[in-house]
Amino acid sequence: MTGRERLVSALNHIQPDRPPVDLGACGQTGISASTMYRLRKALGLPQKPVKVIEPFQMLGAIDKDLRQALGIDIIGLWNSGTLLGYKNENWKPWTMCDGTPVLMAGGFECDLDEKGDVWVYPGGNRKAKYSLHMPNNGFFFDNIMRSSGFDEDKLTPLDDFKDDFSVANDEDARYWEEISIKLFEETDYGILGNLGGAGLGDVALIPGPFLENPKGIRSIEDWLMAHIMYPDYIKEVFEYQTGIVLKNLEIYKQAVGGRIQAIWLSGTDFGTQTSCFTSIEVFRNLYKPFFKKINDWVHKNTTWKTFYHTCGAIEPLINDMIEMGVDILNPVQCSAKGMDPGELKIKYGKRLVFWGGGVDTQKVLPYGTAEEVASQVKERVNIFSEGGGYVFASIHNIVAKVPAENIIAMFKAFGNLVN
pLDDT digits (tens, 9 = 90+) for 85-143: 999 999 999 999 999 999 999 999 999 999 999 999 999 999 999 999 999 999 999 99
Task: Say whether pLDDT at 417 is over 90.
Answer: no
- pLDDT score of 186: 98
CATH code at 291? 3.20.20.210
Number of residues that this document lists for the chain: 419
Q: Which tens digits make up the pLDDT trace of 232-279?
A: 999 999 999 999 999 999 999 999 999 999 999 999 999 999 999 999
Residue 121 lies in a domain: no
Q: Compute the Cα dihedral for 123, 129, 135, 137 and give only its sign.
A: positive
DSSP assignment of 300-350: HH-SPEEEEE--SS-GGGHHHHHHTT--EEE---TTSTT--HHHHHHHHTT
Name the nearest CA neighbour of 258 among 199, 295, 308, 298.
Answer: 298
pLDDT exceeds cutoff 60 at 351: yes
How many angstroms separate the CA atoms of 43 and 118, rounded?
A: 31
Q: How confident is residue 415, by pLDDT bands cut at 50, 70 and 90?
A: confident
400: in domain: yes
Distances (CA, A) of 66 to 20, 42, 204, 291, 399: 16, 11, 29, 35, 17
pLDDT above 70: percentage of residues in the chain: 99
What does the pLDDT average to over 210-235? 97
Residue 120 domain-assigned?
no
**pLDDT, tens digit, 9 for 90 and up, residues 141-197:** 999 999 988 999 999 999 999 999 999 999 999 999 999 999 999 999 999 999 999
Note whether 390 and 329 are within 8 A (CB): no
Q: Could you tell me if residue 197 is inside a domain?
A: yes
Mean pLDDT of the 7-34 span: 98
Residue at 290 is within a domain: yes
pLDDT of residue 299 exceeding 90, the answer is: yes
pLDDT above 60 (res 386) = yes
Owning domain of residue 43: 3-84+147-418
Alpha carbon dihedral 234, 295, 205, 134, in 10-degree steps, equals 150
Q: Is residue 139 part of a domain?
A: no
Q: How far apart are CA 60 and CA 411, in angstroms?
A: 18
Return the percentage of the chain with pLDDT > 90, whole number. 98
The pLDDT, as a whole number, for residue 102 is 98
- For residue 331, whether the previous peptide bond is cis, meaning omega lies within 30 degrees of 0, is yes
378 in a structural domain: yes
Q: Does 416 score more than 80 pLDDT? A: no
Is 329 a residue whose pLDDT tops 60?
yes
Mean pLDDT value across the chain: 97
Domain count for the chain, please give it.
1
Position 95 scores a pLDDT of: 98
pLDDT of 280 strictly over 90: yes
Residue 418 has what pLDDT?
Answer: 56
Over residues 310-322, mean pLDDT: 98
Query: Which residues, other chains included, contact 178 with Cβ-Cβ below 8 Å and sequence gap of 6+?
Result: none
Does some domain include residue 48?
yes
